[in-house]
Structure 1
Amino acid sequence: MTPVFIRPAALKEGDTVAALSLSSGFASEVPHRYEAGRRQARASLGWNIVPAPNALRGEDYLYRNPQARADDLHWALEHPEVAGLLSMIGGDDSVRLLPLVDPAVIRAHPKVFLGFSDSTVTLLQFLRAGVMAFHGPALLADIAEHGGMHPYSVQGVRQATMSAAPFRFAPALEWTQGGPDWMLPELQEVPRPFAPSAGWIWLQGTQPAEGHLIGGCLEVLDMLNGTPGWPEPALWQGAILCLETSEDVPPPSQVGYWLRNFAAQGILQHAAGLVLARPRGYTPEMVEEVYRWVKKVLWEAGREDLPVLANVDFGHTSPQLTLPFGARARLAPAVGVFEVLEGGLSD
């Protein structure tokens, strides 16, 4: 049974969207990048980006004041003129906000929250509060893309956060994981080089499967595991797990160890499917080793039947699609389909 989640209202062109620094305060170090993100959000999505009250107060202040970050989240949810919430960028310590975030506020004011990487913590607190959330571009990353948003990222955000209709994912034709230095304003309008994409890979499974989407960045999930913010067993039951790794490039064996933890909790045994992001910073040999570990752990868990789709365009490579966490989706290996059966929004 799919858990029941509240669907936030679809975002519209002209809406005010608050940019939040829930983890790193890096936005203040790259004001040109922040302004590029604001311009490009308006040009490609029609959003009016406004900073939350503490979002631009700097890395040191926000590190020392997690309460200010939690206050920003509550402010954006409760402010009547703010239609949606957008992560500035990831980081590594939004887990510190867990005692300070009120799930009742999230549930009472359901709005689109969009982000990835360390935003995994907040995304899962939305699901725990019973509200759908959206794993996708951050303001300083794919929205502030050098020279303008990539059309693939624009389409991904629009279909997931600006329409209540079901939709089908498709592989990006090109991808990248590097590019110009964010700290140099003169390079902001220099487009990054993109390489042709090899597409998605079905690692195993033959039968179609349906389930709600849940997951995030594996390194952040590891920090969250065992805390009060870890999703309850019912939220994992029958889910399609969407997992990615960060620029930390964890060894393939570590990915296997994290999946073994999921097996020890019974998560893999009760999952409907597994979707793995294209890993950033891995050699082809490391990627193959990750895939061997995935299939090894699934064999150990008795899940050789589980459909597994890999090299998917989300997470720490670009461009990336947007995953509506909590929405019901379908994997169909025989026909190569990954689709959302019900949108994550209300009309």
Structure 2
Amino acid sequence: MTPHFIRPPRLTPGSRVAALSLSSGFVTEVMNRYRAGVRQVADTFGWEVVPAPNALRGPDFLDANPQARTDDLHWALRNPEIHGLVSIIGGDDSVRLLPYLDPGLIRQHPKAFLGYSDSTVTLMQFLRAGVMAYHGPSLLTDLAENGGIHPFVAQGICRALVDDPSPFDLSPAPEWTQFRQDWEDESLQEVRRPFTPGDGWTWLQGEQAAEGHLIGGCLEVLDMLNGTPGWPAPALWDGAVLALETSNDVPPPHQVGYWLRNYAAQGILGRAAGLLLARPRDYTPEMVEALFRWVRRVLAEAGRPDLPVVAGVDFGHTSPQLTLPLGGRARLDPRAGRVTVTP
């Protein structure tokens, strides 16, 4: 049976959005960047960003107090004056929040949660609670983009969690960048990063259109989550369109293949409807080709040469990035070259 997910209320001008430090407390080292994100979110969407009680207490405190980070999530869910939630930045230890997390609060108070990277842990807990969640920019990344939020990012956020929900086609970014700007240098905040013209997507395999609910996130973080109580039950993967991305740790192509073999062993690939692979961060062209070979190889091993797969999709650790409504429906049509999402 297809899982059912609650759609959180849409965000509108005037919405108050809680800024959460659920993993790293790095934000206090780049407060000018934080202020830029707050300002640009207000200018673009009309939302008021409100820091959660512990969000700005610094990396040492937050590292030592995973329960305080969880308390912030609970506070944002319970607080009737908070309408949405956004991750400030990722990290590598949101899995430490699981012992303190009350999943019932997510279902009792469904609110839009936006984030990626280490936020994969929290995104998955929303799906486990039966609530849609949004794989998209964090406050310090694309929302604080140098020179303003990219129109591609703004359009993606609006379609996913602002506009009246209706199907829309994902599209390749017209340009992209992985250029690292110095966030500590406030003078660079209004200096636009160099971009490369977009190169579209690559359809790796599959001929027939397929549809399912979106689920996924950062592969490295999913690997940390795998085997814990926060890992989704098998039924949550059934008939899903997997959306998988890699981080700036730059895992080699064979490692991605090994992770996919784990998904094959769990039966996830055998029951999947489709696969979206993100543009891999900091890969050379040779690494990209090796990745494609590994994906095809593992799917062949799993008996899924029919699975529609599109690669190089603009989400995760790339800029500008799409916002994917996890729990929403996605339809992959290889012949038409279309990916249609219903948020």
Q: Same fold (TM over 0.5)?
A: yes
Aligned to 1:33, the other structure's residue is in SS state: helix
Match of 2:183 in 1: 182
SS for the counterpart of 2:120 is helix
Q: Does 1:305 align with 2:306?
A: yes
How far the C-alpha of 1:161 sits from its partner, in A, is 0.9
Q: Structure 1, residues 276-304: CA drift from partner, whole Å, max 9, x if none?
A: 00011110000100010000000000000
Partner of 2:62: 62
Give the Cα separation in 2 of the matches to 1:271 and 1:312.
18
Counterpart in the other structure of 2:215: 214
- Superposition map of 1:234-245 within 5 A: 234-245=235-246
The equivalent residue for 1:23 is 23
What is the letter of the counterpart of residue 306 of structure 2? D
RMSD: 0.6
- State the alpha-carbon separation in 2 of the partners of residues 183 and 235 from structure 1: 41
Question: Secondary structure of 2:271's partner?
Answer: coil
Which 10-residue stretch deviates more, 156-165 or 229-238? 156-165
- Structure 1 residue runs of 5 or longer lacking an equivalent are none
Who is 1:323 aligned against?
324
Deviations 1:36-74 (A, max 9, x none): 000000111111101000000000100000010000000
Q: Which residue of 2 aligns with 1:4?
A: 4
Q: Distance in 2 between matches of 1:190 and 1:2?
A: 46
Name the counterpart of 1:161: 161
Secondary structure, in 3 states, of the residue corresponding to 1:295? helix
Q: Is the 8 A contact 1:13 1:47 kept in 2?
A: yes
SS across alignment from 2:114: strand
Post-superposition shift, 1:179? Answer: 3.0
Partner secondary structure for residue 294 of structure 2:
helix
Q: TM-score, normalised by structure 1?
A: 0.98
Question: How many angstroms apart in 1 are the aligned matches of 2:325 and 2:232?
Answer: 16
Corresponding residue for residue 53 of structure 1: 53
Aligned position for 1:114: 114
Deviations 1:300-323 (A, max 9, x none): 000000000000000001000000
Aligned residue runs from structure 1 range 1-347, under 5 A: 1-163=1-163, 164-340=165-341, 342-343=342-343
**Structure 2, unaligned runs of 5 or more:** none
One-letter code of the match for 2:3? Answer: P
What is the TM-score with the length of structure 2 in the denominator? 0.99
- Please identify runs of 4+ aligned residues in structure 1 that moved more than 4 A: none
Tell me, in whole angstroms, the C-alpha distance in 1 between the residues paired with 2:84 and 2:166: 18
Q: How many residues are treated as equivalent by the alignment?
A: 342
Identity of aligned residues (%): 70
| Aligned mates of 1:41, 1:57 — CA distance in 2 | 22
Query: Residue 142 of structure 1 aligns to which amino acid in structure 2?
Result: D
Please give the secondary structure, in 1, of the residue aligned with 2:332. Answer: strand
Give per-residue Cα distances to partners, 1:49-104, cap 9 Å, x unaligned: 01000000000100000010000000000000100000001000000000111000
CA distance in 1, matches of 2:100, 2:300: 40
> How far apart, in 2, do the equivalents of 1:235 and 1:29 lie?
38
Task: Verify the 8 A CA contact 1:114 1:138 in the aligned structure 2.
Answer: yes
What is the CA distance between 1:2 and its match in structure 2? 1.8
Equivalent AA in structure 2 for residue 167 of structure 1: F
CA distance in 1, matches of 2:42, 2:56: 19
Query: Cα offset for 1:165?
Result: 2.0
Q: Secondary structure at the match of 1:92?
A: coil
